[in-house]
Structure 1
Amino acid sequence: MDSQHCPLCGKNNQCSVAAGRTDEPCWCFDAKIDPAALQRLTPEQRNQACLCPACAGALEAAERGEQN
């Protein structure tokens, strides 16, 4: 599995750790990941590659919608 691509959509996951930039924190360190997105992963996909912000950010988008 390619650790630099989202296992759900196949796009670049923007993971700084997978890209070898371990001197900077990854975007996901402070992100709220939608539990439903994680449930869409197969057991083989789990803990192998990060989701991209679009796939993982569904919870964040839902929260913004509730505030408006």
Structure 2
Amino acid sequence: MDAEHCPLCGKPNRCSIAAGRSDEPCWCFEAQIDPAALQRLTPEQRDQACLCPACAGAVAAVKGEERD
């Protein structure tokens, strides 16, 4: 599995850790992830890659972060 892409839709997940920027926290560290999105993952997909903001249901949180 590619850690830089969302396991649900295959689009870039914007994970700073997977992109090699371990000195900055991933957007998901501060976001509230929709529990229904996590339930859509298969056991094999869990803990392998971040969801993208859209699939995580956290688009508003990421857009707010971009304004800072």
- Per the normalisation by structure 2, the TM-score is 0.83
Match of 1:66 in 2: none
What's the offset of the Cα at 1:54?
0.5
Matched AA of 2:41:
L
Task: Return 5+ residue gaps in structure 2 as ranges.
Answer: 62-68
Segments of structure 1 that go 5 or more residues without pairing to the other structure are: 62-68
Query: Would you say the 8 A contact 1:31–1:57 is kept in 2?
Result: no
Once the two structures are TM-superposed, the CA of residue 57 in structure 1 deviates from its matched residue by: 1.9
With the length of structure 1 as denominator, give the TM-score of the two structures: 0.83
- Structure of higher CA gyration radius: 1
Between the two proteins, the alignment pairs up a number of residues equal to 61
SS in 1 for 2:20: coil
Pairwise CA RMSD: 1.8
Runs of 4+ in 1 over 6 A off after TM superposition: none
| Alpha-carbon distance between aligned partners in 2 of 1:57 and 1:31, rounded to the nearest angstrom | 9
